[in-house]
Amino acid sequence: MKKFIGAALFLFGAGSTMAQSTPPPSAAVPSRSDSSTVSTPVVPAGPSIVFEEQKFDFGDIRQGEVVQHTFRFTNNGSQPLVISNVRTTCGCTATDYPKKPVMPGETASITARFNSAGKRGQQNKVITIDSNALQGSTQVLIITKVTAAN
């Protein structure tokens, strides 16, 4: 009798383990490969500034040279983008930026000029753009290596 109960418990335990590891056919989820669904780009519910590039490297320049680069950006948002201020890390860098609102979908630019007079070696200049964009302040970077003038 003990052998019979032991065998019954063994078979019951083995059966319940099998039931847990094999999903019932009704629980199988059919895979759906419907490629007709088109994703629509999400437009932010406010102004959004997106730069074509976040960084520009002038390469090697001679001390005393003035170089400039134009950073282009687009307002990818749904409301006008207003740039309130553009700040630089030192007086050697000057900027021009749009004073009028940039409408949704429009592209505009910020021009940065770097004067290397009195500078030597690696230069990394951060330009901070303050605006009403949803992401808050945005930064771009200009890089150069200033070599001694002959």
How many domains does one find in the chain? 1
| 47-88 pLDDT, tens digit each | 999 999 999 999 999 999 999 999 999 999 999 999 999 999
DSSP 78-123: SS-B-EEEEEESSTTEEEE---S-B-TT-EEEEEEEEE-TT--EEE
Is the pLDDT confidence value at 100 over 60? yes
| 125-150 pLDDT, tens digit each | 999 999 999 999 999 999 999 999 87
* Separation between Cα atoms, residue 136 and residue 128, nearest integer Å: 10
Whole-number mean pLDDT of the chain? 84
Q: Which residues contact 139 (CB under 8 A, 6 or more apart)?
A: 54, 126, 127, 128, 129
Contact status, residue 142 vs residue 112, Cβ threshold 8 Å: yes
pLDDT of res. 150: 75
Does 139 fall in a domain?
Answer: yes
pLDDT of res. 97: 98
Does 13 fall in a domain?
Answer: no
Helix (H, G, I), strand (E, B), or coil: what is residue 3? helix
Domain around 90: 49-147
CATH code, domain carrying 67: 2.60.40.10
Does 111 fall in a domain?
Answer: yes
Nearest to 88 by CA among 64, 115, 106, 63: 115
Does 1 fall in a domain?
Answer: no
Does 118 fall in a domain?
Answer: yes
Does 9 fall in a domain?
Answer: no
- 0.85 cut: is pTM over it? no
| 3-28 pLDDT, tens digit each | 555 555 455 555 555 445 554 444 44
Does 24 fall in a domain?
Answer: no
Does 85 fall in a domain?
Answer: yes
